[in-house]
Amino acid sequence: MGDFKYVSISQFLTEREGRYKPADSKINSLKRLDKIDFLGNIHLSDKPTKTDMIIVKPGDLVISGINVAKGAIAVYDGKEPITATIHYSSYIFDKNEIDISYFKRYLKSPVFIRELKNQVKGGIKTEIKPKHILPIVIAVPDISNQQKINTHFGSFENELMDLDSETEKQKQYLSLLRQSILQEAIEGKLTTGWRKKNPVRKDNPDYDAEALLEKIKQEKKKLIAEGKIKKEKPLAPIKPEEIPFDLPDGWLWCRLGEIADGFQYGSSTKSQEIGEVPVLRMGNIQSGRIDWSDMVFTSNKEEIAKHPLKKGDLLFNRTNSRELVGKTGLFDGLRDAIYAGYLVRFSMMSENNPEYANYVMNSKMHREWCNEFKIDALGQSNLNATKLRDFRFPFPPLAEQQAIAERVDKLLAMVDKLKKKVTERKVQAEELMQAVLREAFNGQ
């Protein structure tokens, strides 16, 4: 696409100089640039700031010193000057030398990132200022060929946007599919065939939920008599209006507190210490699973002793946004000493299948139950252990719990595999885009 010439950015960009105090009479009547989003759109604000300011005039190129490599750059097309904090820089540019669309793409290219690393210790993690950008040497073709390159990239970017849109649709579909699988599981629809082969056997806990519930009640009485667990307040019978759907023969509705025990609160105040014992917090509970990538640690022996975890424990996110509160994760016991911070910990009685319970606690039905509770002034819900014990639970016999868990495990593994493919497809497209940018701005 023609010959490239190598020039420093300062040959076609000139910094608009001037720095002003927020109360300076020259700027206090001007609107302020609030942010530039990653699509290059400018957002204005009337909110005051205590940070020193610069002036941006119509037609200036404005660059975010923090998010420049993510696309936070724009040409200001307003009719009146505005102000921006010194975290931005403003430039007059030579239209005869540089096409701004071409330059914007350069600033998002791997070539620019590489040059920044040479210029600035810390690279793009450092706030980028004019003194970092202006000395960089860039390969620039003539204006005509810059525009041809823009046209080429415009077509490619449109395809990438279409792919992004399709990827998001597929992710939403897979999320709905996941919820559908869980809902059919807890309604007994996934094990219709299993029940035909394994009909109800009265008084057998493996094939009769009433017998299993009675076994749990007797087990609790025994543990209370032995002082191993505390006696709890009786739970109210489930009213007909509370029942969201009919259950198969051999199942029953019960309260979670009837079939679970060990409801305990973890602490949030002492889990930030430096130590060796990892702590599970609200952010670690993700769609029925535990995310181990972001942990804090403690050495507080008192807290560890109060809230120890064992295999099969369920961890309930008791307070957060309406979207996150109620999410539950299953502790698999494969980790060493660990305890739960600011989560409700509970466990199932009498060898009940914790995987099945975890699926119930992450189902659409449970989400709707959580949403029945009011939110506070901060937009958060708060579900304590008392409320949690009151949750109505679709309760199958023990053998069917196992059959459901095995069936759901296989189906969700298929969903995860599809989701991985969707994500990989997007990553590959983004990597291709970066490769094309690299070639375009290497001057080859």
**22-73 per-position pLDDT tens digit:** 889 888 889 999 999 887 889 998 888 889 999 999 999 999 888 877 778 8
Q: Is residue 376 part of a domain?
A: yes
Judge contact between 381 and 370, C-beta under 8 A. Answer: yes
More reliable by pLDDT, 70 or 132: 132
Q: Are residues 130 and 207 in the same domain?
A: no
* Tokens linked to 61: 């190129």
State residue 172 phi and psi, 5-degree precision.
-65, -40
Q: Is residue 416 part of a domain?
A: no
Q: Are strands 42-45 and 32-36 parallel, antiparallel or unpaired?
A: antiparallel
Residue 367 and residue 329: Cα distance in Å, rounded?
14
Residues in the chain: 444
Q: Are residues 62 and 210 in the same domain?
A: no
> CB neighbours (10 Å) of residue 231?
10
Determine if residue 375 is left, alpha or beta; phi over 0 gives left, psi from -120 to 50 gives alpha, anything else beta: beta
Residue 251 and residue 397: Cα distance in Å, rounded?
7
Q: Are strands 314-316 and 328-330 parallel, antiparallel or unpaired?
A: antiparallel
Q: Are residues 77 and 213 in the same domain?
A: no
Q: Are strands 252-255 and 319-321 parallel, antiparallel or unpaired?
A: unpaired
* Residues above pLDDT 90, as percent of the chain: 37
Q: Are residues 331 and 206 in the same domain?
A: yes
Buried b (16+ CB within 10 A) or exposed e, 260-283: bbbbbbbbeebbeeebebbbbbbe
Q: Are residues 253 and 329 in the same domain?
A: yes
Q: Are residues 288 and 358 in the same domain?
A: yes
Q: Are residues 209 and 137 in the same domain?
A: no
Q: Are residues 118 and 226 in the same domain?
A: no
Q: Is residue 314 part of a domain?
A: yes
More reliable by pLDDT, 271 or 275: 275
Mean pLDDT of 159-175: 82
Q: What is the pLDDT of residues 297-320, one digit of tens each?
A: 777 777 677 667 888 889 888 876
Judge contact between 231 and 224, C-beta under 8 A. Answer: yes
46-53: which pairs have CB atoms within 8 A and are 24 or more residues apart?
Answer: 48/22, 49/22, 49/85, 50/22, 51/22, 51/85, 51/86, 51/87, 52/19, 52/20, 52/21, 52/22, 52/85, 52/86, 53/19, 53/20, 53/21, 53/22, 53/24, 53/27, 53/83, 53/84, 53/85, 53/86
- Per the structure, the complete domain to which residue 296 belongs is given by 200-396
* Tokens linked to 38: 């990653």
* Tokens linked to 156: 């490619």
Q: What is the mean pLDDT of the chain?
A: 85
Range from 118-122, 187-191, 439-443 that averages highest in pLDDT: 187-191
Looking at residue 125, its amino acid is: K
Q: What is the CATH number of the domain that holds 216?
A: 3.90.220.20
Judge contact between 102 and 88, C-beta under 8 A. Answer: no
Q: Is residue 401 part of a domain?
A: no
Q: Does position 379 have pLDDT exceeding 80, yes or no?
A: no
Buried b (16+ CB within 10 A) or exposed e, 157-176: eeebeeeeeebeebeeebee
Q: Does position 377 have pLDDT exceeding 60, yes or no?
A: no
**Element of type H or E holding 144:** helix 143-186
Range name among 92-106, 129-143, 213-227, 257-271 with the lowest pLDDT average: 257-271
- pLDDT for 121 equals 66
Q: Are residues 112 and 215 in the same domain?
A: no
Q: Is residue 426 part of a domain?
A: no
The answer to whether the pTM exceeds 0.75 is no
Mean pLDDT of 199-224: 94
State residue 439 phi and psi, 5-degree precision.
-65, -40
* Residues above pLDDT 70, as percent of the chain: 91
Q: Is residue 124 part of a domain?
A: yes
* 3-state SS, residue 341: coil
- pLDDT for 1 equals 45
Q: Are residues 219 and 346 in the same domain?
A: yes
Q: Does position 247 have pLDDT exceeding 90, yes or no?
A: yes
Range from 182-196, 276-290, 307-321 that averages highest in pLDDT: 182-196
Q: Is residue 22 part of a domain?
A: yes
Q: Does position 102 have pLDDT exceeding 60, yes or no?
A: yes
* 3-state SS, residue 2: coil
Q: Are strands 53-56 and 82-85 parallel, antiparallel or unpaired?
A: antiparallel
Q: Is residue 237 part of a domain?
A: yes
Q: Are residues 26 and 124 in the same domain?
A: yes
- Of 393, 406, 402, give the one whose Cα is nearest residue 352: 402
Among the three residues 381, 396, 411, which one is the final residue of a domain in this structure? 396
More reliable by pLDDT, 444 or 150: 150
Among the three residues 96, 125, 141, which one is the final residue of a domain in this structure? 141
**Element of type H or E holding 210:** helix 209-225
Residue with tokens 């070539």: 111
Among the three residues 141, 157, 183, which one is the final residue of a domain in this structure? 141
Q: How many domains does the chain have?
A: 2
Q: Are residues 272 and 383 in the same domain?
A: yes
Q: Does position 271 have pLDDT exceeding 60, yes or no?
A: no
Q: Does position 280 have pLDDT exceeding 50, yes or no?
A: yes
Mean pLDDT of 178-199: 95
